[in-house]
Structure formats: structure tokens, C-alpha cells
Amino acid sequence: MSEFTIIKNYFQVMTKRHKNTICGIGDDGAVSDVPSDCELVSCVDTLVLGRHFPMTTSAYAIGYKSVAVNLSDLAAMAATPYAILLGLSLPAKLACDEWLGEFARGIGGICREFGVELIGGDTTRSDVLTVSVTALGFVHKGRAITRAGAKVGDVVCVSGEIGSASYALSQVLIDKPTAWQHTLDLPIPQVTLGEVLRDYASAMIDVSDGLGQDLGHILTASGVGASIELDKIPCIDELKVLPDNQKWQHILNGGDDYQLCFTLSEENFKRLNSINPYAIFAIGKIVDGQGIELFHKGKLIEFEIQGWEHFK
């Protein structure tokens, strides 16, 4: 199958035209209209088969997740997703209808769900399957939520259960089927909550490399510390029954959660709870100092935070 056939048959037809797109797939570059009251938020994430995905991952899940992780980054900036560009490095044996059809269905599915258009990309042959997605979104001028705004006294929250994908991966790696496979393969980016938090949060990040490490990024960027109550971090029952250290390993160091971790003032926390239809979970407080203090049953505990790192 030629590169041009691939583009025409699978990618050009995949998503609906977005109202801000002037020129999409088919020319040398895409042309987009940035609303005059907005700023452009952009991010890129590259996924390598065997490194970011178990070799057994379905083509559908690879397509879906490579977009989902980018929409999660946009959500963490409180941006509204607009479009993606797809850099695809494809082994020859996957350039077939069976694989590409499912891959495109995964990408198209999540794009449609969030009103995102595929406006361009690049297709090359390679020995290793690599999917690099660039995502673009809009946020009203000056309203992006960064990692740098957390203040002493703020409440630290997460948007949902943490550690499920890490638990699922541990089961996949020993060939055990698990009901939590979907949290690993098909994470739901918290786009709507991210948009709501634009009016409430003081700092925000998405949890991709482990809650401990990612919260650490907020603390470093904001120049503060945090006091976290481990028992308040929401998690699935399968994790609750594990020995404490194994449980915390999944929750604090696991990663691939794609939930949001954010801080907000006590007042905004109350305000948001009174109107918000989404579940948000307070897990601790921002304090003076640096780093994370972890409490279990009211007692300070020692646990080494060690998130995902590529070049260890």
C-alpha cells in the first residue's frame, strides 16, 4: 500500500472539518484560524510499541490512546482541544487494511468524541511502530492553568481513581485478564473537567508518570510542599486489598492514569463542590516547604517516590 493510498483511505476521511480549519489534510501545511480572544496551546507525545505499549496492544487502542494522552495534556492546561497532527512511523507488515483500519477507527473515535479534527501529519516506514501525535487547543487569553500557581493552604485534588492502569499493566505482564484493561488501553482524558477548572484551579497537571512525581512537578514549579493523606487517594478495590507498599507503588509511582491533579483555594474547593457535577477528591493540602509528606492513618510514613523516567 502506498503512502498516498494510506493518507487518502484512512486519514483524509477520518474526522469532520472543524469550524476553525481553513485548510486541512492535502496541502503542504494546515491553515487554522485562532479565535481572536484565545491563545494556542500545543503539545506532542510520542508512543513507541514495546516501550509505551505492551506488544499485545490492539491497533484500535494504539490509535485511541495516542490521541487520548495528548488531549489529557490539553485538559491539564484547561484548554479546549481543536485538532491533532499525526506522525506515523509504520513497519511494512502493518501497512495493511486489517491494522490500519482498526488504528484509524481508534483515532477517529476519540477525535469525534471530543470534536477534534485530524488536520495533517507525516507517514513513513520504520522498523518500530512509533506514533507521535501533536495536539492543538485554544484557551481564553491569560486563562491557561499552569503547574506554577499552587499556594500554601490550597487543597490538593485528583479527578478520579489512581493506580488502575498500573495495576492493569501488572496483570497484562503476567498474562492475567483483568476488568481494568480499559484503564490502560482506553484512558478517558478529563477535558470537560479541565475546562471547568479554568475558573477554579490554581495549578494543574495530568497524571501520566505517577501521582508522586507529577504532583512533585506542581510543587517544584510553585515553590511549595504538600501534605498528602494516602488513605484519601481514590483507588479500585483490587488495590485496596494489596499490602500497603505494593498499593502505594501503583498509586504513587505507577502512572498512565490520565486523571487530573490540581490545587485550589479552600473557598474555590467549596464553591466547585457546590455546583460541580463531577467527582473530585481532596487528597491533601499545600504547605510551606518542599516535597511531599505522606500520611497513613494520621502517621507520617517513609516511601520512595520514583515515577516513570526514560533515561534511567
Of the residues 69, 77, 86, 168, which one makes contact with ligand ADP according to CB under 6 A: 86
Cα torsion angle, 112, 114, 117, 123, sign: negative
Residue 120 makes contact with ligand ADP by CB under 6 A: yes
Q: How far is the CB of 310 from ligand ADP (least distance, A)?
A: 24
Q: For residue 119, what are the CA distances in angstroms to 35, 194, 214?
A: 17, 23, 30
Which of ligand ADP, Mg ion, none lies near 223, with the C-beta cut-off 5 to 8 A by kind? none
Min separation Cβ 117 and ligand ADP, Å: 10
Distance of alpha carbon 230 from alpha carbon 42, whole angstroms? 33
123 interacts with, out of Mg ion, ligand ADP, none, CB within 5 to 8 A per kind: ligand ADP
d(CA 247, CA 158): 17
Closer to Mg ion by Cβ: residue 28 or 127: 28
CB distance 201 to 129 below 8 Å: no
Q: Tell me if 197 contacts ligand ADP by CB under 6 A.
A: no
98 binds Mg ion (CB under 5 A): no
* 27 belongs to the binding site for Mg ion (CB under 5 A): no
* Span interacting with ligand ADP, options 121-129, 151-159, 228-236, 266-274, rule CB under 6 A: 121-129
Q: What is the CB-side half-sphere exposure of residue 119 using CA atoms within 13 A? A: 24
Interface residue with ligand ADP, options 54, 101, 115, 121 (CB under 6 A)? 121
If one counts every other C-beta atom within 10 angstroms of the C-beta of residue 24, the result is 18
**What minimum distance in Å lies between the beta carbon of 39 and ligand ADP?**
23
Choose, by CB under 5 A, the member of 28, 37, 127, 302 that binds Mg ion. Answer: 28
Instruction: Please report how close the Cβ of residue 81 comes to ligand ADP at its closest, in angstroms.
Output: 16
- Is 139 within 8 Å of 204 (Cβ atoms)? no
Among Mg ion, ligand ADP, none, the one that 86 touches (CB under a kind-dependent 5 to 8 A) is ligand ADP
Q: Mark the segment that binds ligand ADP (CB under 6 A) among 19-27, 60-68, 199-207, 253-261.
A: 19-27
Residues with Cβ within 8 Å of 98's Cβ and at least 6 positions away in sequence, in order, are 59
The minimum distance between CB 256 and ligand ADP, in angstroms, equals 24
Interacting residue ranges for ligand ADP, rule: CB under 6 A: 7, 11, 25-28, 86, 88, 118, 120-123
